């Protein structure tokens, strides 16, 4: 089976706004590698404890077991020579040298599949995502559906107390009710 296959590393990126099905697409790809018997390991940032820790979840409730980590360097402690496929959810939230660690794994012949937000709530590119997208062998850019008007949505709208957040609002707000929506370019609002 896959043992006859010569390992050529590969980086696949799944990006888009919130509610575009990134985790669902990551889970779909990883379930296939697991079904094929390929040694697969999955990581999720520790800060993302929505639903269940030790799992990656899509909004539709599908889940797979994952190792929670804070720094990308922790991946290297879990990956072995036998590991063929590495899945990383919410990759934009990890600390550390994301690009160099991921490219090291790819150059060792691993298939690395990452899902993450390409833009932050300010509609600016997110951390090291642009470089990962440039270096990837394959990029899937998903769209959500605008929760205001139903057009295809490429933006993540941050709401504080139900109102669009301002550009300069702090990333972490204590005690404020905060939520997110997928929005199209017309409905996305930011106050600079
Ligand atoms: Zn809209």
The predicted-structure confidence for 129-177, as pLDDT tens digits, reads as follows 999 999 999 999 999 999 999 999 999 999 998 999 999 988 767 777 8
Label residue 4 by pLDDT band (50, 70, 90).
low
Residue 90 known to be catalytic? yes
pLDDT at 44 exceeding the cut of 60: yes
Output the CA 160–ligand 1 centroid distance in Å. 19
Give the distance (Å) from ligand 1 centre to CA of residue 151: 5
- Fold of domain 2-142: Rossmann fold (3.40.50)
Q: Is 161 annotated as a binding residue?
A: no
Residue 3 has pLDDT above 70, yes or no: no
Residues around ligand 1, an ion, CB closer than 5 A: 146, 148-149, 151, 184, 187
Give the 3-state secondary structure of residue 181: strand
Residue 2 in this model has a pLDDT that exceeds 70? no
**pLDDT greater than 80 at residue 61:** no
Reported confidence tier of residue 7, pLDDT bands at 50, 70, 90 = confident
Query: Is residue 91 marked as binding?
Result: yes
Residue pair 160/178 in contact by the 8 Å Cβ criterion: yes
Question: Are 2-142 and 145-192 equal in CATH topology?
Answer: no
Question: 55 pLDDT exceeds 80?
Answer: no
CATH topology of domain 145-192: Wheat Germ Agglutinin (Isolectin 2); domain 1 (3.30.60)
What is the predicted pLDDT for the residue at 10? 97
What pLDDT sits at residue 63? 75
The residue extents of the domains of the chain are: 2-142, 145-192
């Amino acid at each position: 089976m896959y043992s006859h296959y010569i390992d050529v590393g590969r980086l696949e990126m799944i990006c888009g706004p919130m509610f575009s099905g990134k985790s669902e697409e990551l889970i779909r790809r990883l379930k296939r590698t697991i079904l094929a018997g390929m040694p697969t390991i999955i990581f999720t940032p520790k800060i993302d404890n929505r639903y269940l820790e030790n799992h990656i979840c899509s909004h539709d409730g599908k889940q797979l077991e994952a190792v929670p980590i804070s720094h990308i360097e922790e991946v290297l402690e879990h990956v072995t020579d036998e590991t063929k496929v590495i899945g990383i959810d919410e990759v934009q939230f990890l600390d550390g040298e994301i690009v160099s660690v991921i490219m090291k794994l790819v150059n060792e012949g691993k298939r690395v599949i990452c899902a993450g937000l390409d833009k932050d709530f300010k509609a600016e590119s997110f951390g090291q995502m642009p470089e990962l997208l440039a270096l990837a062998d394959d990029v899937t850019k998903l769209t959500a559906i605008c929760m205001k008007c139903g057009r295809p949505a490429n933006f993540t709208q941050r709401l504080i107390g139900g109102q669009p957040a301002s550009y300069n609002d702090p990333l972490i707000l204590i005690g404020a009710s905060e939520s997110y929506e997928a929005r199209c370019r017309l409905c996305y609002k930011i106050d600079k």
